[in-house]
Structure 1
Amino acid sequence: NRQQLQQQLDTFLAEQTISGLAVELRPTISLAKICFVFSGQGSQWWAMGRQLYESEPVFTRWIQLIDNEMTKINNGEWRLLEELIEKKNEQESHINDTNIAQPTLFAIQVALTALLVSWNIYPSTIVSHSAGDQAAAFVAGRLTLQEAVRIVYHRSRLQNRNTRQGGRMLAVSMSEEEVKEKLLKGIEHLVCIAVVNSPRSVTLSGDERTIDELQQMLSIFHPNVFKARLRIENAFHSYQMDRFDIEKELLSSLNGIQGLPLKDPKQMFNPKCAEARLYSSVIGGELSNKMPVDAHYWWTNVRQAVRFRDTIASIAQNDNATIFLELSPHPVLATSIRECYESANQQPLILPTLKRKENEQITLLTSLAQLTISPDIWQQYFHTRDISPMIKNEQFFDDFP
């Protein structure tokens, strides 16, 4: 309304910031340099996606579609729609349970991507982090929807076995080399490096008691080092994943998934997205078309460390992405990406799609305003409000309820 517009103009003239105001003084940015970032577990919250579900038909349709596929594979054990849309408060929600968090995160990420693509926003590069790998592989044309949902279901179900079994994770603002030298000598069998996010951000994983002792030691001997236990009662990407037959059952459950680039456009999420270069934090670089995301790849994804720093460094060197758009319920990787680029003396634009407990449409459109001044996107947003530009593969919906 007029009052809001006046307030935003006054804020702009005062060189201040306010929710819903996007100011970008850069030159026009080519759409060919957008990197879609699919973050992992940790960004979820109990009411994520609800406003977009009520207001954006493309987003709604994809959430419903994934709910339908998930219900088929889990035999109605739980409903994705119930967790995402129907829970009345945080106390009722199970969104932080691993077997719920990862599938709902996958659904939100895919639906967000579908919405962006319906507005003519496509990635030239795709990168992901841990549990975000499934959505990335699906969007990049490596998996059918049925395969992606199958992977998400079994990965999260099996990892959940290790919940509350004496494992925790600790984020530390130190380099990988410092952590190995100052923290892990002699206790490598109890705690390991699970994630290397940036040149000065590492996550440790392993025995809960040892994690507690490390946190106390850091407080005493390195008080200026940031450290925080993750709100996850599990030890992902560590030796604890070797327990409870997780490897054996995962390989068996995912047997037959080839994970090579799909040849049939009708099976793809979107053929244009499949043209994007796919970077994997499992290997720390670009995933060639000859490298399959098969059952063994997904076991490596579960068991080995996340090499996000190396992956972003590879993008900086080989792709020169100028915009990173994080597809998640809340931005969790922006700082890591920024720190990775500082060492390369570059400053990409890093944008969220959603933020926890903030208006979802305003957050998304604020980033859209900063993303580009291309009239194609705005014409698509204001004049095409149906799902046909996004999904031409109607056979996806043959068995839609």
Structure 2
Amino acid sequence: VSADVVSGVAGDIGPGPVLVFPGQGSQWVGMGAQLLDESPVFAARIAECEQALSPHVDWSLTEVLRGDGAELSRVEVVQPVLWAVMVSLAAVWADRGVTPAAVIGHSQGEMAAACVAGALSLEDAARIVAVRGDALRRLQGHGDMASLGTGAEQTTGLIGDRPGVSIAAVNGPASTVISGPPEHVAAVVAEAETQGLRARLIDVGYASHNPQIDQLTDELTERLSDIRPTTTDVAFYSTVSAERLADTTALDTGYWVTNLRQRVRFADTVEALLADGYRLFIEASPHPVLALAMEETIEQADMPATVVPTLRRDHGDTVQLTHAAAQAFVAGAPIDWRRWFPT
């Protein structure tokens, strides 16, 4: 990766910062626990998220964050918890002076993106992510997903004629995700490994962004029928359509069904943001799972831009947040250091 990708060009962030929200995979046991004690802003937003989730779940968000992590193995728990942590990290960035000019979300991350952008209320976003996770339980055991260190064309060749396997996400020039029946996904991984390619199964146990999701269409449509998105001034770049949504009232029930069913066009959407002049990408997550794919996309586009993480696995305190803020500041983000170090 070029030095420009890592360091960026100080002060040149184009229209403003982009907040990036990944899908499932950035979770780790203990994420958010230290910030509950160290950051009043984070703790307050988590409390609001817990209240918004409470009509739809039978567990406590705070208890899961402070617990032993056992609950994070359940899809109906981990997805809402990740959503809440990402929304709350965005609140911390905002408190320190960094509000997004644009947002982008990957799969379930789009719910956090829409909420932070103001296109969805906290209550509607909580409902979508809770219903989504609950519905996916019906498909557990019938599908798997895997991450491959290959581009879309090479991945298509690896899949071959294996039935039910499809590309679930294109994250970067050499980063894709596949989904489908467990035995066929495992066969693709084995084939990739024999060719010396990076490949690993993702611990989810279902097949998102795959025809298997069609089994959930009626349920999701009914349970999310009264979602009420609104317009917002924050640019929402859709990884379903790989472009900016001109009108975020389009983030209705049908959109969220499509979000789960269709391929995630993350790399294409990052390219669209770069083409529109955005130069600072902050991944608002417990661990930077999309950073490498973004850096590869930026390098391929041959544009100077900076990718900044927020927390990292086993580094979830205000010290890590300060490091992230310093990186963003060097790249031109308007960090309010008086908020970070009050006198």
Give the TM-score taking structure 1 as reference length.
0.80
Corresponding position of 1:216: 190
Corresponding position of 1:6: none
Rg larger in 1 or in 2?
1
CA distance in 2 between partners of 1:226 and 1:115 (Å): 35
SS at match of 2:178: strand
Q: 1:179 aligns with which of 140, 151, 155?
A: 155
Corresponding position of 1:72: 55
Deviation at 1:183, TM superposition (A): 2.1
Superposed CA offset, 1:22-79 (max 9, x none): x9695334584211001111101121001111011111011111111211233xx211
Aligned length: 336
Q: Which runs of 5+ in 1 are unaligned?
A: 1-22, 262-273, 385-401
Does 2:216 correspond to 1:237? no
Q: 2:281 aligns with which of 303, 324, 348?
A: 324
Deviation at 1:185, TM superposition (A): 3.1
SS at match of 2:169: strand
Q: Contact 1:39–1:130 at 8 Å: present in 2 too? A: yes
CA distance in 2 between partners of 1:253 and 1:27 (Å): 46
User: Relative contact order: is structure 1 or structure 2 higher (C-alpha 8 Å, sep ≥ 6)?
Assistant: 2
Does 2:121 correspond to 1:148? no
Corresponding position of 1:281: 239
Distance 1:290 1:24, change over 3 A: closer
Q: Percent identity?
A: 32
Q: 1:191 aligns with which of 165, 173, 196?
A: 165
Distance 1:347 1:247, change over 3 A: same
Deviation at 1:277, TM superposition (A): 1.0
Q: Contact 2:124–2:228 at 8 Å: present in 1 too? A: no
Distance 1:375 1:139, change over 3 A: closer
Q: Contact 1:45–1:96 at 8 Å: present in 2 too? A: no
SS at match of 2:72: coil
CA distance in 1 between partners of 2:108 and 2:129 (Å): 8
Q: Contact 1:338–1:347 at 8 Å: present in 2 too? A: no
Give the TM-score taking structure 2 as reference length.
0.92
Corresponding position of 2:3: none
Q: Please identify runs of 4+ aligned residues in structure 1 that moved more than 4 A.
A: 23-26, 29-32, 373-376
CA distance in 2 between partners of 1:24 and 1:343 (Å): 16
Q: Contact 2:242–2:265 at 8 Å: present in 1 too? A: yes
Corresponding position of 1:36: 19
Aligned-partner residue type, residue 283 of structure 1: S
Superposed CA offset, 1:251-297 (max 9, x none): 11111223231xxxxxxxxxxxx432110111111111165111100
